[in-house]
A and B are shown apart, each in its own frame.
Chain A
Amino acid sequence: MPVHAENEATLVAEAREGKAEAFTQLVNRYERNIYRLALNLTGNREDAEDVLQEAFLKAYSHLDQFQGNSRFYTWLVRIAVNEGLMKLRKRRSDKSASLDEMVETEDDAVPREVVAWEDTPEQRYAKTELQSILSEAVESLEPAFRMVFVLRDIEDFSTQETAELLNLSIPAVKSRLLRARLKLRQRLNKYFTRG
């Protein structure tokens, strides 16, 4: 077992025994990742903060249910994803799209605008400006695409893990990922086009 994972298992065991310091160490280790995930999933700072808090509070309350079959971090992400989904469903009544609405059509999968980018277009922007461009583009995706893109390409989970985290089939993950990538490419065109 890698040292990092072994250490994680020890911390989880100690937290289960009621050692608050051990759980705090787990929080310190993953709070940034969970916040980034929550922010990308919900596209909203207030919701992201709620998801962050709920994910860690629920993880602590349900530590006994953690089987140890996966990494603690994967289990934590699953809780955060569920919290994020609940936030999005609550917002469904407003302008946000349904998570499952008609995402399998392919009408917009074909690129409409084909223009080349510079070799390293991201260098055109300062760090914070680039972060803001990228966040806005992700937030503009429909939730069904955003969830898959965030887990696969930002959080680096495999297709199989993403399917399990979102209760989707592997073909559905692949199809949504392709469309999310193409939509993002299209939305970033105006910032990164050569010339």
Chain B
Amino acid sequence: MLCTEVMRQLSEYLDGELDAALVQELEQHLSDCQDCRIVVDTTRKTIEIYCNTEPAPLPPEVRTRLHKALARRLAKGR
């Protein structure tokens, strides 16, 4: 497998959606290619960091305005 093919299959590999035979080929390439190994590792970390980081909180003033707008709408009934 060439580096360009590794890049093409990267997302599906990281998502665990790649066919077993391709996984084997890709991992064989990774064992010999440091650049691809780094790209795979740092892309995996990118996804993990976004998955694991708490979202910014809803600012209280934004929440207050939302609930005021809703109260006006809800008062009209359905």
Kindly list chain B residues whose C-beta atoms are within 8 Å of the C-beta of A31. 58, 63, 66
List residues of chain A with CB within 8 A of the CB of B42.
Answer: 115-117, 185, 188-189, 192
Q: Report A101 CB to chain B, min CB distance, Å.
A: 21
- The verdict on B22 contacting chain A, using a C-beta distance below 8 Å, is no
Task: Please provide the chain A residues from 53 to 80 with a CB less than 8 Å away from any CB of chain B in the complex.
Answer: 53, 56-57, 60-61, 63
The answer on a CB contact under 8 Å between B46 and A188 is yes
Output the least CB separation between B55 and chain A (Å): 4
B10-26 CB contacts (< 8 Å) to partner A: 10-12, 14
User: Considering the chains assembled together, what is the distance between the CA atoms of A56 and B69 in angstroms?
Assistant: 10
A53 to B73 alpha-carbon distance, docked (Å): 11
Interface residues on B, range: 35 or more
Which of A57, A109, A115, A116 meets B73, CB within 8 Å?
A57
CA distance A121 to B69 in the complex (A): 41
> A52 at interface (Cβ–Cβ under 8 A)?
yes
Is B78 a contact of A57 with CB atoms below 8 Å? no
Does A86 have its Cβ within 8 Å of any Cβ on chain B?
A: no
A49 to B64, CA, bound (A): 11
Q: How many residue pairs at the A-B interface have CB separations less than 8 Å?
A: 112
Which residues of chain B are within 8 angstroms of A178 by Cβ–Cβ distance? 7-8, 10-11
Closest A-chain residue to B63, C-beta based? A31
Instruction: Give the distance to chain A from B43, nearest Cβ to Cβ, in Å.
Output: 5
Q: How far is the CA of A178 from the CA of B14 in the complex (A)?
A: 10
B31 within 8 Å of A (CB atoms): no
Report which residue of B11, B35, B65 has the largest number of chain A beta carbons within 10 angstroms of its beta carbon.
B11
Chain A residues with CB below 8 A from B55, complex form: 32-33, 36, 131
A122 close to B38 (CB less than 8 A):
no
Assess A122 versus B53: contact at CB under 8 Å? Given A52-B62, A116-B38, A181-B46: yes
A174 near B12 with CB under 8 A, answer: yes
Known: A27-B66, A53-B69, A63-B78. A181 touches B11 (CB 8 A): yes
The answer on a CB contact under 8 Å between A185 and B46 is yes
Distance in angstroms between the alpha carbons of A135 and B50 in the assembled complex = 10
Distance in Å: Cβ of B53 to nearest Cβ of chain A: 6
- Which chain B residues lie closer than 8 Å to A63 at the CB level? 78
Could you show 18 A-B contacts with beta carbons less than 8 Å apart? Answer: A18-B77, A23-B74, A27-B66, A36-B56, A57-B69, A57-B70, A60-B70, A60-B78, A114-B38, A117-B41, A122-B49, A122-B52, A153-B47, A156-B51, A178-B11, A181-B11, A185-B46, A188-B49
